[in-house]
C-alpha cells in the first residue's frame, strides 16, 4: 500500500499538471483574444474603406446623373435648332420652286412672243409696203391718225391691265428657342472620409 507521501506526491504532480494545463489554456485564450482583436481591427478598417467607396460611388452616380441631365437638356436645344433650320430649308425650297415656276413661265411666254413678233414683223413689213404703194393717200391719212391717237393717249392713257399674279408667299419658320434646364449644375464635393473608430 502506498504511503501518504506517495499519495501526496501523486496529488502534487496532478496539481502541477492541472496548473500547467490552466496556464496553457490562459495563454491560448490570450492568443485567441489577441487574434480576434486583430481580426476585428482589420474588419473595422475594411468596413471603413467600403463605406468610403460606397460614398464615393453614390456621389459619382449623383454627379453622373446630373451631368447627363444637363447634356440631355443641351441635346433638346440642339434638336430645336435643327428643327428650326429644317423649317427654314423648307421655306428656301418653296421660294426656289416658286422662282423656278415663274422663270419657266416667263421663258415660255418670251419664246412664244418672240416667234409671234418675228412672224408679225415680217407680215407687217410686207403688207405695209404693198399698201403704201397702192394707197399712198390713205397711208398718209393713217400716219396722221396714229399721231393723233398717240397725243390722246399721252393726255388720257388707257387703263392698264393688272399684272400677272405672283405665287403665294412661303411660310416662314417662327423660331422659339428652347431654354435648357440644369445648366447651373456643378459636381458634388467628394465625401469626407469617416474617422477611424479604432485609431
pLDDT at 46 over 60: yes
**C-alpha cell read off for 177:** 428657342
User: Which pLDDT does position 195 carry in this prediction?
Assistant: 61
DSSP 199: -
pLDDT at 30 over 70: yes
CA separation for the pair 145, 129 (Å, rounded): 18
pTM for the full predicted model: 0.44
pLDDT at 187 over 70: no
Confidence tier at 197 by pLDDT (50, 70, 90): low
User: Which pLDDT does position 196 carry in this prediction?
Assistant: 56
**pLDDT tens per residue, range 90-147:** 889 988 988 888 888 888 888 889 888 988 888 888 888 787 778 877 877 888 888 8
Beta-carbon neighbour count of residue 94 at 10 Å?
16
Give CA torsion, residues 105, 110, 111, 112, to 10 deg. Answer: 90
CA separation for the pair 121, 130 (Å, rounded): 14
CA end-to-end span of the chain:
65
Confidence tier at 185 by pLDDT (50, 70, 90): low
**pLDDT tens per residue, range 54-88:** 888 888 888 888 888 888 888 888 888 888 888 88
**pLDDT tens per residue, range 151-161:** 888 888 888 88
Q: Per-domain residue ranges for the chain?
A: 4-153
DSSP 157: P
**C-alpha cell read off for 48:** 471603413
User: Which pLDDT does position 1 carry in this prediction?
Assistant: 67
User: Which pLDDT does position 188 carry in this prediction?
Assistant: 67
**C-alpha cell read off for 152:** 390722246
Q: 35-44, 97-106, 110-119, 163-172: lowest mean pLDDT where?
A: 163-172
pLDDT at 34 over 60: yes
User: Which pLDDT does position 170 carry in this prediction?
Assistant: 75
Amino acid at each position: 500500500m502506498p504511503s501518504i507521501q506517495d499519495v501526496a506526491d501523486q496529488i502534487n504532480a496532478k496539481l502541477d499538471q492541472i496548473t500547467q494545463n490552466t496556464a496553457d489554456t490562459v495563454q491560448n485564450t490570450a492568443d485567441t483574444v489577441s487574434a480576434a482583436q486583430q481580426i476585428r481591427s482589420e474588419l473595422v478598417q475594411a468596413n471603413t474603406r467600403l463605406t468610403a467607396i460606397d460614398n464615393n460611388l453614390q456621389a459619382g452616380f449623383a454627379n453622373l446623373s446630373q451631368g447627363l441631365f444637363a447634356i440631355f437638356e443641351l441635346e433638346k436645344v440642339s434638336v430645336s435648332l435643327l428643327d428650326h433650320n429644317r423649317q427654314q430649308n423648307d421655306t428656301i425650297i418653296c421660294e426656289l420652286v416658286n422662282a423656278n415656276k415663274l422663270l419657266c413661265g416667263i421663258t415660255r411666254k418670251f419664246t412664244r412672243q418672240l416667234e409671234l413678233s418675228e412672224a408679225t414683223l415680217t407680215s407687217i413689213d410686207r403688207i405695209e409696203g404693198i399698201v403704201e404703194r397702192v394707197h399712198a393717200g390713205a397711208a398718209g391719212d393713217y400716219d396722221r391718225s396714229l399721231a393723233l391717237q398717240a397725243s390722246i393717249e399721252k393726255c388720257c392713257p388707257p387703263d392698264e391691265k393688272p399684272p400677272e399674279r405672283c405665287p403665294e408667299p412661303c411660310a416662314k419658320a417662327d423660331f422659339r428657342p428652347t431654354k435648357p434646364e440644369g445648366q447651373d449644375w456643378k459636381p458634388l464635393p467628394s465625401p469626407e472620409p469617416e474617422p477611424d473608430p479604432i485609431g
